Chain A
Amino acid sequence: MVTYVIRRLIQLVIVLIGVTVITFVIMFAIPGDPAQQLAGKNATPERIATIRTQLGLDQPIYIQYYRFVGRLVRGDLGESYQLQKPVLQMIVENAPNTIQLAVAAVLIELLGIPLGIYSALRQFTFWDTALTTTALIIWGIPVFVLGVFMQWLFGLKLQEWTGYNVFPLTGAGDNVLGVIPASWSSLATLILPAVTLGLIEVAYISYMQRASMLEVIRADYIRTARAKGVSEGMVVRKHAFKNAVIPVMTIAGIDLGALMGGAILTETVFNRPGIGLMIYQAIGARDLPVVAGGVLFATLVYVFANLFVDLGYAWVDPRIRLEG
């Protein structure tokens, strides 16, 4: 197990190198010059050249990358071109809201498990068809469209109809212990973005859970259990569910990392100050250190989520052995 973890951590370094290289190449490939943006419209070519030199942008991409990595190993992610603030500080400030959002979205997406089981146990009935069709439709909705719809329905119209401002459309509240909403108003800012991000995954999880359950429910040991006269409830809870939920939990775990991507759009729509909004704004300003820092953070979350899922998998299912 220890060897396995060490091997995964070594792989992590390779992944991080790959991710930073790709981020650098993409940021260089997309149009726009940060020096020109910073210099303003009336800047002389000399001024733009000076800024380029100050930021090190006059160097070839590999030199810039080398410098970036050099700083990175010393724990320095550099400074934002635009805000002239350490990127690490920006990540520390913004991460709690994103972690909160991703965790809340994962908790919401777990609703897909009972829905999937319900669907599987009623295969080909009206409710099974209704649930799977709805899941497919929701799964196909882009997160920014769903986000605006949620804002309109629950943020705007609900207030018009009831007179109560239950769900704020934007922002984030104060937290305690870093990531726990400190008040109802703080929690209220989390609900709509988390439901938006989570709902699409509910659809996905329920679909996966249904498929997994259908496979398990037809297994020999289930038939044996039923033949022995075990009650249907017991068969489902004790035998089928435990086995059918393992692959789905894996997906949910990995989703914690994958939701970091969805967070960019969700945080932009809901104007929620987090890593996603930070990356979005930095891309607009061609602020490479911030984009690279944000992407690194997201990658770390993704890789560690994967690692914990793998470790958890071995723990839940002792048949799986993690080989070093």
Chain B
Amino acid sequence: MKKPTRRWRGLLAVAAVLIVAALLLGACGAKESTGNGGTGDQGTPVAGGTYNYPLSANPVSIEPVNAQESEGMQVAHQVFQGLTKYVLNDKGEMEAVPDIAEKWESTDSQTWTFHLKKGVMFQAPVSREVKAQDFVDGWNYVTDPANESFVSYILAPVEGSDDGGYQVDTKKGLTGVKALDDYTLEVKLRYPFAEFPQTLGHTVAAAWPVDYAKEIGAKKFSQKPVGTGPYMVESWKNNQSVTLVKNPDYWDTSEGAGPYIDTINMPIITSSQTEWLEFQKGTLDYTTVPPGQVAAAENKPEVKSGQWTAKRWPTLALYYVGMNMKDPTLGQNAELRQAISQSTDAQNVINIVNEGVPLPATGYVPLGMPGYAEGQNPWAYDPEAAKSTIDDMGGAPTLEYWYNTDEGHQKIAEVLQAGWQNAGIDVKLSNFEWGTFLDKLSKGNKGGGSQLFRMGWIADYPSMDNFLYPLFQSDQARTGSYTFYSNPEVDKLLQEARSTMDAQQRYDLYLQAEKQILTDMPASPLYFYRDFRVTNNRVANYVHNPMGFTDMWTLWIPEQAAE
């Protein structure tokens, strides 16, 4: 056997040097430029092209009966339409405006009449006009327990439904919804609910051809559902991709209604690291970034040059520290709860654990909600005041803080613990798996109830009611916020708000309720979530709205104009 020759060694050395040099060039070679990114060219929309939008998991469902998590609902959002839709108004709030409904009215906020637009068509192959009866059929279908919808609770206010959104008597069906004629739908509710139209932009309340779904079979329909929206489902390959194509017969031909892009390609990519690399490779137009890489993403040359946009988009979601009002130590001691809130260091949590992405919460109702007001919490972060309160009390008892087992929640707990410690409040940390955690929280003061705990809430629809009622109304607080909070005055305000048709008056009532709850302090709001996303400005007009949706029919690709 021959030994490696000097020539070979020399060649190998040269190759090694070249590889190292290439790696270094790759790391440093990207061109430097300055400037802020936007969400793409805002010129005149042009048609054509493909938008590449990854889904982070295989959707559970992409049709109204069961679309429930962000992926499935994002797909369904492009395909289905309801009586109302959510638009981002000038104040950055999600507002419900007419979609398939032309207008609606109610005098008592309990009986609603919706007038439907004429000429709204189902996509091919159904290709027929949407009638009021389609809503009656669809809502009856999703609230029938036999059809196992997990999102039917959105329709729980409708007469004939129980609290979980299932029909009380399946023989009678959902008695509260009736088609008065082809274009008029009457909905009777179990209780006055002035924000009801705000709930109807949810996919579960959308129009879909129940007759067609029954004809081809529910399973087949769930794979390739048909709605009325600007995009149609071309294919859904489980765990691989969803492909949507432009609806060629889209009923809304008004200016600006879109859609412009021909195809929406949605590969299912479960690893955020892989998604981020795919984006950098140019095969995706949108990405999340892996944990710990927010700053790196923001400093990318492509972001600085305006080729990409890296942005924190507000979402309607809250992270809070709950306090068990049934706990003998906390429940009876308002001053202690106030001091805990005043020493809850949200900014530190955001900076240390969340890479600066979320916003410190100033109340329970997040930014982006219609009627939102800033600075609602009278016990906002004030460590000095907290310390002085604890000193005046002669010290605080040692408390326990619970969180569900998760690295992120643990880090947050540790930062919070340090903040409370500085105010003189000793807190011990414990964690439990999710099921056990919820089970223990729901116990109140029976058999080792909680004291302090973490919890979160994500909006089902953009309404202050969706945060305040299920979390803090006396009958709901046991499994809503797990705080067991009860204040008849708050219940009264919430009830009054639900019965008030005037939007501004209603918002005022909700704000009063929120203020009162915060004054009582059963839960210290920590932060409002924001979604950090990087998008390619190859695609114009990108908006990630506070519900986490993108109206893909409003996007366009300027380079298509040149082709």
A residues touching B (Cβ–Cβ < 8 Å)? Answer: 31-33, 36, 38-47, 50-51, 54, 82-85, 90, 93-94, 121-122, 125-127, 148, 151-152, 155-157, 159-161, 165, 168-172, 232, 268-271, 273, 277-278, 280-281, 284
Contacts and interface: CB of A to CB of B under 8 A. Distances in A.
B239 A273 contact: yes
A271 B284 CA distance: 14
B274 interface: yes
A168 to B, nearest CB: 8
Interface in B403-443: 405, 433-436, 438
A83 B58 contact: yes
A38 B280 CA distance: 34
B271 A268 contact: yes
B440 to A, nearest CB: 13
Contact of B1 (A50, A121, A270): A121
B110 to A, nearest CB: 22
B164 interface: yes
Given A39-B150, A268-B271, A47 B164 contact: yes
Contacts of A155: 277, 281
Contacts of A43: 150, 153, 164
B274 A127 contact: no
B405 A127 contact: no
B277 A281 contact: no
A57 to B, nearest CB: 12
B6 interface: no
Nearest to B60: A82
A170 B435 contact: no
Most buried by B among A32, A42, A271: A42
A121 B153 CA distance: 72
B4 interface: yes
A281 B239 contact: yes
Nearest to A121: B1
B521 interface: no
Contact of B269 (A36, A125, A126, A271): A271
Contacts of B281: 155-156, 159, 165, 169
Contacts of B172: none
Contacts of A47: 150, 164, 166
B488 interface: no
| Size range of the chain B interface in the assembly | 35 or more
Contacts of A36: 434-435, 438
B274 A269 contact: yes
Contacts, number: 110
Contact of B148 (A54, A165, A284): A54
Given A31-B433, A156-B281, A281 B57 contact: yes
B267 interface: yes
B385 interface: no
B270 A38 contact: no
A160 B22 CA distance: 11
B197 to A, nearest CB: 19
Contacts of B91: none
Contact of A170 (B60, B267, B433, B479): B267
B470 interface: yes
A160 B164 contact: no
22 contacts: A31-B433, A32-B435, A33-B434, A36-B434, A38-B60, A38-B150, A43-B164, A44-B153, A44-B163, A47-B166, A122-B1, A122-B3, A156-B281, A157-B26, A165-B281, A168-B283, A170-B269, A170-B278, A232-B1, A271-B267, A271-B274, A273-B239
Contacts of A168: 283
B460 interface: yes
A262 B1 CA distance: 37
A33 B432 CA distance: 13
A281 B238 CA distance: 11
Interface in B148-174: 148, 150-151, 153, 163-164, 166
Nearest to B19: A153
- What 8 pairs across the A-B complex have the smallest Cβ distances? A31-B433, A44-B164, A40-B150, A33-B435, A42-B153, A271-B269, A157-B26, A273-B240
Interface in B198-245: 219, 237-240
A270 B274 contact: yes
Given A47-B150, A157-B22, A161-B22, 13 more contacts: A32-B435, A36-B438, A41-B458, A45-B479, A125-B3, A148-B273, A151-B274, A156-B277, A156-B280, A157-B23, A172-B240, A269-B274, A271-B270
Contacts of A39: 150
Contacts of B280: 156
Interface in B35-82: 57-58, 60, 68
B19 to A, nearest CB: 10
A43 B145 CA distance: 13
B270 A32 contact: no
A90 B238 CA distance: 9
A31 B270 contact: no
Contacts of B60: 38, 82-83
A169 B164 contact: no
A121 to B, nearest CB: 6
Given A33-B435, A42-B470, A161-B22, A171 B1 contact: no
A158 to B, nearest CB: 9
A126 B8 CA distance: 14
Interface string B8-50: 0000000000000011001000000000000000000000000
Given A40-B68, A170-B267, A269 B148 contact: no
A278 B239 contact: yes
Contact of B58 (A148, A268, A281): A281
Contacts of A269: 271, 273-274
B267 A171 contact: yes
A54 B237 CA distance: 27
Contact of A32 (B23, B278, B434, B460): B434
Contacts of B239: 94, 273, 277-278, 281
Contacts of B434: 31-33, 36
Interface string B231-261: 0000001111000000000000000000000
A169 B274 contact: yes
A31 B277 contact: no
Contact of B274 (A33, A45, A122, A170): A170
A83 B58 CA distance: 9
Contacts of B274: 148, 151, 169-170, 269-271
A247 B486 CA distance: 73
Nearest to A274: B239
Nearest to A168: B283
A31 B269 CA distance: 24
B268 interface: yes
A45 B237 CA distance: 33
A311 B381 CA distance: 72
B268 A271 contact: yes
Contacts of A157: 22-23, 26
A157 B470 CA distance: 50
A85 B3 contact: no
Contacts of A151: 274, 277
B111 to A, nearest CB: 25
A169 B219 CA distance: 32
